[in-house]
Amino acid sequence: MGIPLTRLTEGCCEALNTLDCIDMDEKKIAFDGSMASCDRVLECPTHFIYIEEKSFLLDFFNKIQKEYSCIMHIKDGEIPDEFLEYLHTISVESKKVNLALSIMDKMSSSAKKVKDTTVILCSDPAIDTNKLKNIPIVYVYCESGLEVDKLFSLMLTRYIKNKEIVIVECAKLEKFLRSNCA
């Protein structure tokens, strides 16, 4: 039994659907319509939180596939066991490098969204601009259920020290928001 793609692709985190977020699509249309915005914007009592859902692990699997010329034949919407078993033959160092590249690629793709989101919110007279200082950007991802999840989590805790950038697995999102949006 492989990993269903629906567990890794953007849209996998059901907890995001329960959040009461600002409708940025409506604000974009009122502002300009051509700007990008973060996936979700949550207004807390003292600040905003920008939330981006990212498929870090799927990107990692794609990078491994390209680097090692192994083909990840998707069957019935799943990443097959053969590919997952192949991951065990790859050095931890190579996995670290490819995970780091996946993190950098996915986070850099959000830079324009963060800037545009802030511009859109600043232009809205109903928004308290004091809440726009030191906005944390939360990157949410879904776990694969594999050993690589542990490596990914370990890398994140060791290397991401910026308080304004948080990467959290979907299963821990509600707990994070309870303690950071009270």
- For residue 16, is pLDDT > 70? yes
Give the pLDDT confidence score for residue 158 in this predicted structure: 67
Q: Cα dist. 33→28, 120, 136 in Å?
A: 5, 10, 24
**What is the Cα–Cα distance from 65 to 72, expressed in whole angstroms?**
7
The 10s digit of each residue's pLDDT in 92-103 is: 899 889 988 988
How does residue 11 score in pLDDT terms, banded at 50, 70 and 90?
confident
Bridge partners of residue 26, in order along the sequence: none
Residues 6+ apart with CB under 8 A from 122: 129, 132
- Joined together, the tokens standing for residue 36 give 């990008």
Q: Average pLDDT, stretch 135-158? A: 80
The 10s digit of each residue's pLDDT in 98-132 is: 988 988 888 888 889 999 999 999 988 989 999 99
**What is the Cα–Cα distance from 136 to 76, expressed in whole angstroms?**
37
Mean pLDDT of the chain: 84
Q: Which residue has the tokens 């308290």?
A: 128
Q: Average pLDDT, stretch 144-173? A: 77
The 10s digit of each residue's pLDDT in 18-77 is: 888 988 887 777 776 678 899 999 999 999 999 999 888 888 888 988 888 877 777 777
**What is the Cα–Cα distance from 52 to 108, expressed in whole angstroms?**
12
- Give the percent of the chain with pLDDT over 70: 93
